Amino acid sequence: MSTIDGPKRDTIRLDGEPPRILLIQAPYYEGIVGGMRRGVERVVAEAGGTLEVVDVAGAFELPAALRLALDAMEHPDEPPYWDGFVLLGCVVKGDTDHYDHICREACSGVMQISVQTGAAIGFGLLTVHTIQQAEERSADDGHNKGAEAAQAALLQVALKRRWRMA
């Protein structure tokens, strides 16, 4: 296990309506992503929020699914509504450069959407060299990167609400 502690955050409480979070996950490594999802579920529940979960094929599809969700919110006939988004996945380095391309494009795609839209996004894509590293980052402890991604999304939701009210 890693000896570096992750951020210690209190339960995030938001003013107003309970937060609605869409979790977009790429469960290619089902056990790893499942562990991170449990972290998201815990953090969102502690904040009094609700969570909707959708699956995509892999990490490469995360940005496109996020864009589809944001576009769906603009649909005129009763659009779905989410306050924030959490994206989860895992890419393990292999013997080819496929890892580099997938990681770069997934991260770049999410960052572009974040900057262009201002959406509240928690990005939990593990980019690791070994399954052991991924297991350490998806365990039910203080190092769970899914929980950290959910906290990031909720903090962004809080910031958006604060500035919208100002």
Q: What is the mean pLDDT of each run of 10 residues along the chain (166 residues)?
A: 57 89 97 98 97 98 98 89 97 92 97 97 98 96 94 96 80
Which residues are identified as catalytic?
98
Looking at residue 89, its pLDDT comes to 98
Long-range CB contacts for residues 131-137, cutoff 8 Å, separation at least 24: 131/29, 131/32, 131/92, 134/29, 134/32, 134/90, 134/92, 135/31, 135/32, 135/35, 136/1, 136/2, 137/36
Phi (first) and psi of residue 154, to 5 degrees: -65, -35
Nearest to 19 by CA among 64, 42, 51, 56: 51
Provide CATH code, domain 20-73+81-165.
Answer: 3.40.50.960
